[in-house]
Amino acid sequence: MQWIFLSLITISLSFLSAQKTDEQMIAQIFETALTQGHSYENLRELCKDIGPRLSGSDNAAKAVEWGQKKLQEMGVDRVFLQKVMVPHWIRGEKEKAHLVNSASLGDQTLNICALGGSISTDKTGVSAEIIEVQEFSELAKLGKEKIQGKIVFYNRPMNPTHINAFRAYSSAVSQRSMGAVEAAPYGAVAVIVRSMNLRIDEYPHTGGMRYKEEVTKIPAAAISTQDAQLLHQLLAKEKSVTVYMKMSCQTLPDAPSYNVVGEITGSEFPEEIIAVGGHLDSWDLGEGAHDDGAGCVQSMEVLRLFKAMKIKPKRTLRTVLFMNEENGLRGALEYARLAKENKEFHLAAIESDSGGFTPRGFTVDGKQSKLQQMLSWLPHFIPYGIYYFAEGRSGADVSQLKDGRATLMGFKPDSQRYFDYHHASTDVFEAINKRELELGSAAITGLVYLIDQHGLK
Amino acid sequence: MQWIFLSLITISLSFLSAQKTDEQMIAQIFETALTQGHSYENLRELCKDIGPRLSGSDNAAKAVEWGQKKLQEMGVDRVFLQKVMVPHWIRGEKEKAHLVNSASLGDQTLNICALGGSISTDKTGVSAEIIEVQEFSELAKLGKEKIQGKIVFYNRPMNPTHINAFRAYSSAVSQRSMGAVEAAPYGAVAVIVRSMNLRIDEYPHTGGMRYKEEVTKIPAAAISTQDAQLLHQLLAKEKSVTVYMKMSCQTLPDAPSYNVVGEITGSEFPEEIIAVGGHLDSWDLGEGAHDDGAGCVQSMEVLRLFKAMKIKPKRTLRTVLFMNEENGLRGALEYARLAKENKEFHLAAIESDSGGFTPRGFTVDGKQSKLQQMLSWLPHFIPYGIYYFAEGRSGADVSQLKDGRATLMGFKPDSQRYFDYHHASTDVFEAINKRELELGSAAITGLVYLIDQHGLK
């Protein structure tokens, strides 16, 4: 094929004879995923029939039932649940926010949403002057004198010069996770954080935030990037800008929930587990399509493709639908605890939690020898636009399995559009392209197939 | 960076000392494009202030003016127009189509659009039984007896197993371009062609079709993939399916139009031209955002980035906004004719006409030695997700420059979503992601920079 990256062909030559069958199998996996795939229809069910699935919610419970039923219908060897207690935060009534008596804009409405885990405002809401900062270090410089009684407005944008959008996210997300804790000691009454979004648009993006036991808890909200820019411009124009905000979110007692696990027992090395997973919970504003319905249906599709193609794996294959990745990681921690308790050996664990976009590669967290072996397989993936296996972190869920033996991997689709949807009301089924999703399913299944066939030495 | 494809690093080592500056320049080009880029706002103007730009239309004339003005405002050394006479086809009133008296669905509406270049139906429309085929070879088997007086319904889907969506397009597009000519000799009264779309949705996709002088001209329409499936199912269920369709399109006399060319004169080798282009015309249903507003604004951005970054090119750089790629190629033919007449030497010509999606690589149509030289530059692009330079066709416009000396290239973004939008009402500004568009601008500019610095030996 003309578009194969030519200098890679040399790498493949030495493996060509041994890998003829592998090459054909990968081709068949891609063809099956693209012509008889179930991931897209499964995602439609998860997004449209169930919807948002925040930990502890009724929908999260429905999603557990759905995942269990789907895996059972595939006819895998074993389907089981792992019980966990999860945080149970609820948003309550839709948040309200507006400018107060702005000289140029009056009481114009602002698009905000509570950050996950935040306390509510008073029942009547809070009205206070805002003070804008870009870095935590500015808080100390401003001091209590200037911050006391105000709403701290964190407005550092994601750094657009990072080509990998997840790095751009890392450059800004501390404002969301730690903003309240950092501002409260200076007497701030609330914080408003610029949404983690590379676009300028009207949608606020929620996401996890933390309190510390010894620090006063103050309400924390995200504001759309468009309104963040507006506040910034207003502050330049009007001497003082006052914002009213009202949130009625609250944290209820922990609730019971479950990881869902499906398994095909290996025929030769049943004690060697190859796990692939995504997280079943999602934030509550959208439908959790890219984050992480996509990862769930792709992980399920791996086992389904093995069944549909009548491939009997040598090793034990597992699909894990983790609960509570978004605001607690309780599912992943419990899965890892049980794996240790049961002395399970995870040969490999692959996480898909970077969206249902067009595949690019895989990151690998494990011994160099494993990565080297995987690189010998890369020529099989190049024709499908998957061109790198590289050292890197796997994912929040499977990284809990790190024990010096397991090779942990992250599936890496293209990242450019991920933060257009992440944790926002825009993360719906319609934001997914069927082929891109299916190519991801095929990429992961292809890699699982090769690991199953050859092991990881 | 962790996600660089590791085995490529070896390639880069031998070039490292010489290319330090190149690497920095590429980084600066990407940073500037992502933080101070104009391509997205320019595309907004072209799509929203002007809109669809079919050859011969008032909007196409406005687009010529706009392109000329934009290039002049950049302060390039020379902006000029190249006059061409272009086909002038108009759609007329919105097409109408519905089932006629279907036993199960009555007179349900069908989503169709005239194919570009088609004649109209009679003023009262045409109502006829449809006969479904997948291949031209079926027409001869069915013969006049079964086809006479009917509407031939071409329903071969794009082959989804091709990973490159343009190959899937090639597998089906002959139905659109040649369907009328193939069916008319058997007495067909019209043809309806399944839209060139990998999705199942409600939007008909137009596109060029041809007649032959000696073959009776019959009307030709595209139907949405959803309705194509509906017709297929109905044919299986009801013995006969009759469709009514009415189109009032017509071909007017050829109209004058223009290529728009902007140029920065080279400081050392002004006679060596590096051209980069897209096409300014578009189909009339959408806003021509991906096809090919994206290619136009990216081509303009190359020169603008050179100006903004104060890089004085050694060679002559040209942005070419070609007219009439969609239904005649008249602009490209005239550009190539004038190049020959003026004995111009195109060292390289790069076309961007594959959508404003996340960049993947470049195809190269030229001598092997040039491709080898380009491969030595590849390590500079890997950090930006651009991982291949490979032999392949360039593009419809720049390929007219093929003369044994010019190296012709095609910019290749990810192809998966292209046919969701191609030639349909969905191809609007909102279908473009700012970062993906800007990364494309930077990729092309980076390549132009290296060609300008080092030539192509």
CATH fold of A92-248: Glucose Oxidase; domain 1 (3.50.30)
Q: What are phi and psi of A265, to 5 degrees?
A: -75, 135
Taking only residues 340 to 379 of chain B, the set having a beta carbon closer than 8 angstroms to any beta carbon of chain A reads: 358, 360-361, 363, 371, 375, 378
CATH fold of A6-86+253-454: Aminopeptidase (3.40.630)
Q: What would the mean pLDDT of A192-205 be, rounded to a whole number?
A: 98
Pairing of strands B250-264, B78-90: antiparallel
What is d(CA B329, CA A146) in angstroms, rounded to the nearest whole number? 65
CATH fold of B6-87+254-454: Aminopeptidase (3.40.630)
Flag the least confident range among A97-101, A447-451, B16-20.
Answer: B16-20
Looking at the predicted structure, is the pLDDT value of residue A150 above 60? yes
> What percent of chain B clears pLDDT 70, i.e. is strictly above it?
96
H-helix or E-strand spanning residue A220 = strand A220-223
Q: pLDDT at position B444, please?
A: 98
Pairing of strands A242-246, A126-133: antiparallel
Give residue-wise pLDDT tens across range B374-391: 999 999 999 999 999 999
Looking at the predicted structure, is the pLDDT value of residue B274 above 90? yes
Residue bearing the bigger pLDDT, A11 or B343:
B343
The full set of domain ranges for chain B reads 6-87+254-454, 92-248
* B24 at interface of A, judged by CB pairs closer than 8 A: no
Looking at the predicted structure, is the pLDDT value of residue B4 above 90? no
> What percent of chain A clears pLDDT 90, i.e. is strictly above it?
95
Q: What is the mean pLDDT of chain A?
A: 95
Tokens of A210: 């933390």
Looking at the predicted structure, is the pLDDT value of residue B301 above 80? yes
Most A CBs within 10 Å: which of B7, B11, B434, as the mutation test of the A interface?
B7
**Measured on CA atoms in the order B31, B35, B39, B40, is the torsion positive or negative?**
positive
Q: What would the mean pLDDT of A206-218 be, rounded to a whole number?
A: 98
Q: pLDDT at position A8, please?
A: 46
Looking at the predicted structure, is the pLDDT value of residue A266 above 60? yes
Closest chain A residue to the Cα of B164, Cα to Cα: A384
Tokens of A370: 């494993």
Q: What would the mean pLDDT of A297-307 be, rounded to a whole number?
A: 98
Q: pLDDT at position B20, please?
A: 55
What is d(CA B199, CA B195) in angstroms, rounded to the nearest whole number? 10
Give residue-wise pLDDT tens across range B302-333: 999 999 999 999 999 999 999 999 999 999 99
Q: The sheet that has B315-322: what strands, in order across it?
A: B78-90, B250-264, B315-322, B269-279, B345-351, B407-413, B359-365, B388-391
What is d(CA A336, CA A174) in angstroms, rounded to the nearest whole number? 26
Give residue-wise pLDDT tens across range B390-412: 999 999 999 999 999 999 999 99
Position A239 confidence tier, pLDDT thresholds 50, 70, 90: confident
What is d(CA B98, CA B391) in angstroms, rounded to the nearest whole number? 46
Looking at the predicted structure, is the pLDDT value of residue A60 above 60? yes
Q: What is the number of residues in chain A? A: 457
Q: pLDDT at position A262, please?
A: 98
Q: What would the mean pLDDT of B438-457 be, rounded to a whole number?
A: 97
Binary contact (B392, A2; C-beta < 8 A): yes
Half-sphere exposure of B438 (CA within 13 A, CB side): 24
Looking at the predicted structure, is the pLDDT value of residue B17 above 90? no
Chain B partners within 8 Å of A433 (Cβ)? 199, 416-417, 420
Give residue-wise pLDDT tens across range B141-199: 999 999 999 999 999 999 999 999 999 999 999 999 999 999 999 999 999 999 999 99
Looking at the predicted structure, is the pLDDT value of residue B8 above 70? no
What is d(CA B63, CA B46) in angstroms, rounded to the nearest whole number? 7
Looking at the predicted structure, is the pLDDT value of residue B13 above 60? no
Looking at the predicted structure, is the pLDDT value of residue A3 above 60? no
Q: Quick check: is B268 catalytic?
A: no
**Measured on CA atoms in the order B302, B303, B307, B311, is the torsion positive or negative?**
positive
Closest chain B residue to the Cα of A359, Cα to Cα: B414
Looking at the predicted structure, is the pLDDT value of residue A10 above 90? no
Binary contact (B7, A6; C-beta < 8 A): no
Residue B154's DSSP bridge partners are: B133, B193
Looking at the predicted structure, is the pLDDT value of residue A235 above 70? yes
Q: pLDDT at position A20, please?
A: 55
Sequence-distant (≥ 6) Cβ neighbours of residue B20 within 8 angstroms: none
Q: What is the mean pLDDT of chain B?
A: 95
Closest chain B residue to the Cα of A417, Cα to Cα: B433
Q: What would the mean pLDDT of A374-383 be, rounded to a whole number?
A: 97
What is d(CA A63, CA A52) in angstroms, rounded to the nearest whole number? 9
H-helix or E-strand spanning residue A245 = strand A242-246
Q: pLDDT at position B239, please?
A: 86
Q: For residues B452 and B274, is the Cβ–Cβ distance under 8 A?
A: yes
**Measured on CA atoms in the order B237, B238, B240, B244, is the torsion positive or negative?**
negative
Looking at the predicted structure, is the pLDDT value of residue A9 above 80? no
Q: pLDDT at position A7, please?
A: 42
Of the listed A95, A263, A325, A438, which one is catalytic? A325
